[in-house]
Structure 1
Amino acid sequence: MASNLLTIGFDADDTLWHNERFFKLTQERFAELLQDHVEADHLDARLLEAERRNIGHYGFGVKGFVLSMIETAIEVTDGRVPGSVIGEILKAGQDMLAHPIELLPHAQEAVEALAADHHLVLITKGDLLHQERKLAQSGLGDWFDAVEIVSDKRPETYARIFAACPGGAGAAMMVGNSLKSDVRPAIEAGGWGVYVPQELMWSLEAAEKPAHPRFAELEDLGGLVSLVREIG
């Protein structure tokens, strides 16, 4: 176990505040718009395929999601999707970008408590402007020593970020709701990975729990401060 834990990295969406619920609500709205053209289950599968192949083009976040919905709508209607439906999809995306920030339980208390004697880094994927706006609205921004908005989260991403932090990767912990993006790559980079699962999870973020001494799982952020103190 680490003898001195100096840096705590936090994921943002669905770790500090709600996010996936807005994607699910928009996907339901999308299905309603196209209910005369395709069954909802089939539409969901086609949309997921579009998202998977478009990540490399559009990255993560609302804008890429909206473009994938438009692409899927064109595909499943053989190009006959009405302009009014495209307009509704765009409006749904605008609503997602404007949704208010709602912090998850214990997020504020955990961040404030750990900021007193740890270097805090926010490490998140997604659209730059949208993530900056959400952080500003969350009221948590002033507690972080650094903010990293990245195109993807890989072991080399964490290695680069933690190398610039006190103690390097060996004295760093990453906290998040995604095993694929937050936990496993942070451990591979030499740090700790703490999994805080949420009920809703994007299918493309699914991964197995690692069998590793630097892996931990918490029910919610209420147990994070105690875990950090225990590690040292």
Structure 2
Amino acid sequence: MASNILIVDDEALLVKGLKYSLEQDNYDIDTAYDGKDALNKAKSNEYDLIILDLMLPEMDGLEVCQKIRETSQVPIIMLTAKGEDMNKILGLEYGADDYLTKPFNILELKARIKAILRRFNNKETKLGEQVIQVEEFTINTLGRRVSIGDKDVNLTAKEFDLLLLLATNPGKVFTREELLEIIWGYEYFGDLRTVDVHIRRLREKIEQNSSQAEYILTKWGVGYYFRSKAQ
């Protein structure tokens, strides 16, 4: 079955070109040209991936991304014409899985789409266990849901992937480069702070005090690891 992708951008020629190019790779493409229309379509339809521009009329891409994340973990690639690191990182903080700065190479976009869809689909079909219990965490690998005790935790796709990887490898220190390669699924040419942003957001959601983490710890100068109480 072809993957269904929503392209959101107010540049009609760009949308037309992306739609044509991706349809040649047998993707089913839907389009929106402003934030409100994009949000309505995201709520009304099931998409496998959303390509979302940062600067949109009616409602900007960050707000659209944030509102989508309230109900869905669909992978989101953010597009931005701005080159500042803060804009890129901010996009990731709002729940985007990846970003590309305009102008970009269509082959790079296609590679990232394939990598994200492959990893997302692999997690849905190849994980041997459906429910993993680690400390206070109940991780449903097929439903991609996490709870702490009886409280559900709303994680983005990348936050879920990070928690699953770290929690199922307690005590193992992963460098930021390793996390980018494993979680993002391809050679990532972005800022290593992408990992730091996701780790910080994850801590804010699962730790009682994110400034004094109990579970996801930093190995200074190396990377991050999950500490179980048995350690």
Q: TM-score range by the shorter chain?
A: 0.3 to 0.5
Q: TM-score, normalised by structure 2?
A: 0.35
Higher strand share: 2
Higher relative contact order (CA 8 A, sep 6+): 1
Q: TM-score, normalised by structure 1?
A: 0.35
Structure label with greater radius of gyration: 1
Higher helix share: 1
